[in-house]
Amino acid sequence: MTIQQEDRRLEPRRPSHARGVVLASGFELGCVIVDTSSNGMKLRLDRQMALPSPVIVVDIAAGTACEADTAWTKGAETGLKCRNQTSLRGLVPARLAAARDAWRRAGGR
């Protein structure tokens, strides 16, 4: 018999399994968005590394960019706290131009 660890999440998580791209100063890395909540998300990165903070996560299917801060890292998985989410369809602020370009390269329309 095992004792389950207490769930410290403040809001419920929704499974996602969506393809994504993480952008930070000087790099772009593929990922899978494992789950999401109203204020955060869990990613599985294409390779094991600690992400800097802040980052931008592009959800390819949804066509959105989430500006986020790294909350935790464990192996190839990372938890992020989202600050805001913006659609990449149409005009975007200059700070998200690289995110829109990454979304388009990944097949976003």
Kindly state whether residue 32 falls inside one of the protein's structural domains.
Answer: yes
**CATH number for the domain including 21?**
2.40.10.220
Kindly state whether residue 76 falls inside one of the protein's structural domains.
Answer: yes
Spatial CA neighbour of 38 closest among 85, 98, 95, 89: 85
Kindly state whether residue 61 falls inside one of the protein's structural domains.
Answer: yes
State which residues form the domain around 45. Answer: 14-102
Kindly state whether residue 78 falls inside one of the protein's structural domains.
Answer: yes
- Report how many domains make up the chain: 1
Kindly state whether residue 97 falls inside one of the protein's structural domains.
Answer: yes
From the CA atom positions of the chain, what is the Rg in Å? 14
Kindly state whether residue 20 falls inside one of the protein's structural domains.
Answer: yes
pLDDT in tens, 35-92: 999 899 999 998 888 889 999 999 999 999 999 999 999 999 999 999 999 999 999 9
Q: What's the whole-model pTM score? A: 0.86
Kindly state whether residue 98 falls inside one of the protein's structural domains.
Answer: yes
Spatial CA neighbour of 71 closest among 47, 91, 54: 54
Kindly state whether residue 5 falls inside one of the protein's structural domains.
Answer: no
